[in-house]
Amino acid sequence: MGKALLNHDENFFKDLAARQVASGAHYIDVSVASGKADKNQEIKNMEWAVKTIQEEVDKPLAIDTTDPDILKAGLKNHKGQAMINSISYESLDRLTAFLELAKEYQAKLVALPTTDKGIPPTSEERVDVCMYIIGEARKYGIDMEDIYFDPLVLPISVDVNNSVTALDTLKKIKSLSPRTRTTLGLSNVSFGMPNRDVLNKSFLLLALKYLDSAILNPLDEGMMSFLTAGGALLGDEKMRADYLRAFRKKRAAKKKELTEKEEKAVDEKKANEIKTEVKEKPEVPKPEEDKPEKKEKMDPIFESLSMAVQEGDTEKVKELTKKAIDDGFEPEKILDDGLMAGMETVGVKFAEGEMFIPEVLKSGETLKISIQSLQPYLKEDGPTYKGKILMATVEGDIHDLGKNLVSMNLTANGFEVIDIGINIPASEIIGAVKEHKPDILGLSALLTTTMPEMEKVINLLKENNMRDSCKVILGGAPVSEEFAEEINADLYAENAIEAVSVINTALAG
């Protein structure tokens, strides 16, 4: 690194920065300390390093120095809000100079509880120093959320209580000044101990509850997965998403490696076999409609809508839906080729282990909200009352997106819909039929294991002499027309659009 800095090796610095960002770093620490007394050279190096790294990555930098002039060189050349690493109370002059620069360049600060006597041994004393620094920072009008306190940890090899002191300091700072942020350099805790990795990760987990950030090597995959796992367990949604993303990334890399190494040979062999086979078969001309160029080209907005549903990005879906409407696309087409297509892909990815329950739920929620935003357009024709439909998802089944869609589409087409929800026992459904006297009862099931509940409802209707009072329509991905016939339901529809026409016909006849 020293040599690369001396030679201003642009490629080396840019590559290192890019790799750190790719691994999830939020800040890149920049230190130009050479151990030599050439301050002017260090100032030049800092200017060069900040400019060079920011040409490559768009993450902010942490200017790591104890010298105000080198700090200024870094801050002056930094685009956006930099981080100062670090301030302390070793010298009042330096503290003041750093705070002035922080104010001038609106930088964030890492603050350390050190004094001219070193690191205070107890958590109480460290907190006192922190509170003093906070007081000084307030004089400069620095926002508490821009200060990151690092309680400093000494190795447990020297004193077994060292990690506890750091943890207590963090906890006290958070309770005394909740808006102040915290951070922690982890690795010192394990110095002089074997198996340092285990200690560092365990320490991170113990501290995580009081931490807003941590200083760690983002290229250390194991540590990053502990960070995201711990964050997810502490209720941080972004960490949970990062945990899943990291898992997928790792699996994709493994798959790619496998494909490259082992499957290449197999593919080549197969390709040769296919070539031979094709040669032996007589050429059959393709029918006209099979030719790919005949296929209707889909507007890219549908792919964007589908992607936004997959990403669970509600705002983007709403925005795109509005744009599609403004561009004159039919609401039904937006629903089918955009929103539903996205959810279908979510289903495939879920089944293949590519997506996981939190993401499926987020996509589901997005679908729900976006369908609601489409509803006014579906209603545009001003439907007249056509009949009463009672909708329920059967007992043991909590899937409701499809049922909701059917309900909405029916409402939009002039039916009165009473939706009694998900996981509804047969007896409760019968009770609701008695109470509301619908023309049609709609039952939804998405699990093969809950389909028998549908038959239970129909039998119970019969037992209560209510079978003739309302027709029963079934739906849900695993349900088929044959199944509906088999259990003596009256109607079946494959989707929300078909549901409307099937019900229209049934009530007209």
Binding-site size, ligand B12 (CB under 6 A): 37
Q: In what order do the strands lie in the sheet with 415-419?
A: 415-419, 387-393, 440-444, 471-475, 491-492
Helix (H, G, I), strand (E, B) or coil at 387: strand
Q: How many CB atoms lie within 10 A of CB 293?
A: 5
φ, ψ of residue 122 in degrees (nearest 5): -105, 160
Q: Which residues pair with 417 in a beta bridge?
A: 389
Among 61, 214, 216, 405, binds ligand B12 (CB under 6 A): 405
Site for ligand B12 in 328-347 (CB under 6 A): 343-344, 346-347
Among 447, 460, 466, 506, binds ligand B12 (CB under 6 A): 447
φ, ψ of residue 386 in degrees (nearest 5): -120, -15
Using alpha carbons, select from 480, 488, 491, 436 the residue that is nearest to residue 462: 488
Token pair listed for 28:
């890149």
Using CB under 6 A as the binding rule, whether residue 495 contacts ligand B12 is answered as yes
Contact between 337 and 302 under an 8 Å Cβ cutoff? The reply is yes
Alpha-helical regions (H) of 300-340: 300-311, 314-326, 331-333
Site for ligand B12 in 454-493 (CB under 6 A): 473-478, 493
CB 418, min distance to ligand B12, A? 13
Which residue lies nearer to ligand B12 by CB, 150 or 397? 397
CB 391, min distance to ligand B12, A? 6
Using CB under 6 A as the binding rule, whether residue 160 contacts ligand B12 is answered as no
Which residue lies nearer to ligand B12 by CB, 154 or 420? 420
CB 338, min distance to ligand B12, A? 13
Using CB under 6 A as the binding rule, whether residue 394 contacts ligand B12 is answered as no
Which residue lies nearer to ligand B12 by CB, 347 or 383? 347
Which residue lies nearer to ligand B12 by CB, 146 or 395? 395
Using CB under 6 A as the binding rule, whether residue 360 contacts ligand B12 is answered as yes
Contact between 475 and 444 under an 8 Å Cβ cutoff? The reply is yes
Which residue lies nearer to ligand B12 by CB, 223 or 367? 367
CB 482, min distance to ligand B12, A? 15
Using CB under 6 A as the binding rule, whether residue 446 contacts ligand B12 is answered as yes
Which residue lies nearer to ligand B12 by CB, 42 or 395? 395
In angstroms, the CA 315 to CA 313 distance is 6
CB 454, min distance to ligand B12, A? 10
Please provide the size of the chain in residues. 509
CB 27, min distance to ligand B12, A? 35
Using CB under 6 A as the binding rule, whether residue 400 contacts ligand B12 is answered as yes
Which residue lies nearer to ligand B12 by CB, 99 or 491? 491
Using CB under 6 A as the binding rule, whether residue 499 contacts ligand B12 is answered as yes
Token pair listed for 221:
């995959």
Window of 21-29, 70-78, 235-243, 444-452 that interacts with ligand B12 by CB under 6 A: 444-452
Contact between 206 and 167 under an 8 Å Cβ cutoff? The reply is yes
Using CB under 6 A as the binding rule, whether residue 403 contacts ligand B12 is answered as yes
Q: Which residues pair with 30 in a beta bridge?
A: 63
Using CB under 6 A as the binding rule, whether residue 425 contacts ligand B12 is answered as no
Using alpha carbons, select from 156, 265, 249, 166 the residue that is nearest to residue 210: 166
Residues 6+ apart with CB under 8 A from 424: 392, 393, 394, 395, 432
Using CB under 6 A as the binding rule, whether residue 4 contacts ligand B12 is answered as no
Q: Angle CA(453)–CA(459)–CA(461) in degrees, nearest 5?
A: 105
Amino acid letter, residue 104: E
Using CB under 6 A as the binding rule, whether residue 169 contacts ligand B12 is answered as no
Contact between 186 and 203 under an 8 Å Cβ cutoff? The reply is yes
Which residue lies nearer to ligand B12 by CB, 155 or 476? 476
SS3 labels along 254-275: HHHHHHHHHHHHHHHHHHHHHH
How many angstroms separate the first and last alpha carbons of the chain? 82
CB 177, min distance to ligand B12, A? 40
Using CB under 6 A as the binding rule, whether residue 351 contacts ligand B12 is answered as yes
Element (H or E) spanning 409, and its range?
Answer: helix 401-412
CB 417, min distance to ligand B12, A? 11
Which residue lies nearer to ligand B12 by CB, 75 or 412? 412
Site for ligand B12 in 43-62 (CB under 6 A): none
CB 352, min distance to ligand B12, A? 9
In angstroms, the CA 410 to CA 417 distance is 7
Contact between 190 and 200 under an 8 Å Cβ cutoff? The reply is yes
Token pair listed for 308:
């936004």
Using CB under 6 A as the binding rule, whether residue 16 contacts ligand B12 is answered as no
Using CB under 6 A as the binding rule, whether residue 420 contacts ligand B12 is answered as no
Using CB under 6 A as the binding rule, whether residue 418 contacts ligand B12 is answered as no
Which residues of the shown chain bind ligand B12 in the complex (CB under 6 A)?
343-344, 346-347, 350-351, 357, 360-361, 364, 396-403, 405-406, 442-444, 446-449, 473-478, 493, 495-496, 499
